Every structure is written in C-alpha cells, then in structure tokens.
Amino acid sequence: MSVTIYHNPDCSKSRQTLELLREHGITPTIIEYLKSPPTAGQLREILGQLGIAPRDLMRKKESIYAECKLNNSSLSDDDQIDFMIKYPILIERPIVLANGKAALGRPPAQVLEILD
C-alpha cells in the first residue's frame, strides 16, 4: 500500500501523525509541502478525496489569511486554490493519502480510517 503524508515537521500534529503511521508499520512518502507545494491539480484531487471545499482546507488563523482577505465569500474555488499554492502555509496539515482516499490528521488517529 502506498501512503503519502503532506507534512510540516514544525507542526506537532503532523509529527504525531507521522509517528502513528510508523507505529503501524507504514513508511510513507513524505512531502514537506512548504518546500514542495502541491500543484493546483493535486490540490483539487486532495479536496475531492477529502470531500471538502478549498476554504475548509485553509488555516484561517494564519496571518496571511487575514492579510489577503481570504474570508471574502466572493473568492472562487480556483482563487482559493491559487492562494494555497502561492502561500502553502495556508494548507491545513497533515494530509495523508492512501487507497485513493485522503484524511486530515486532526486528530492524528483519523488517518487510520483510510488505511484499511
């Protein structure tokens, strides 16, 4: 089984999720998304697998969210995706991909649901 984690090593939930995967004998592909952000296509695929809208994947407490006025309801999904690509710190983490599914590691145990 191929498992990928979009990881931020500075984030405690991301580190906990990575450790949980390893405790279950999984060695995931690690993508440090701040260094290698997903493409627009990858982000759309992830959003589809999560079943959420782009705004629901944004970290609303990041200063860039307020600075760019991303709470503006007139922003299209494409606009929001473009902001997440330009400022990947906006992307909620960690995201785990496995079996054609995706899960947010908030809480970390939530990712176990897609590993069956």
Q: Is 68 a catalytic residue?
A: no
How far is residue 116's CA from residue 7's CA, in Å, rounded to a whole number? 21
Q: Which of 11, 50, 75, 85 is catalytic?
A: 11
How far is residue 94's CA from residue 96's CA, in Å, rounded to a whole number? 7
Is 9 in contact with 19 (CB distance < 8 Å)? no
Q: Could you tell me the CA-to-CA distances from 58 to 8, 31, 66, 71, 88 in Å, in that order?
A: 15, 18, 12, 10, 9
Give catalytic residue positions. 11
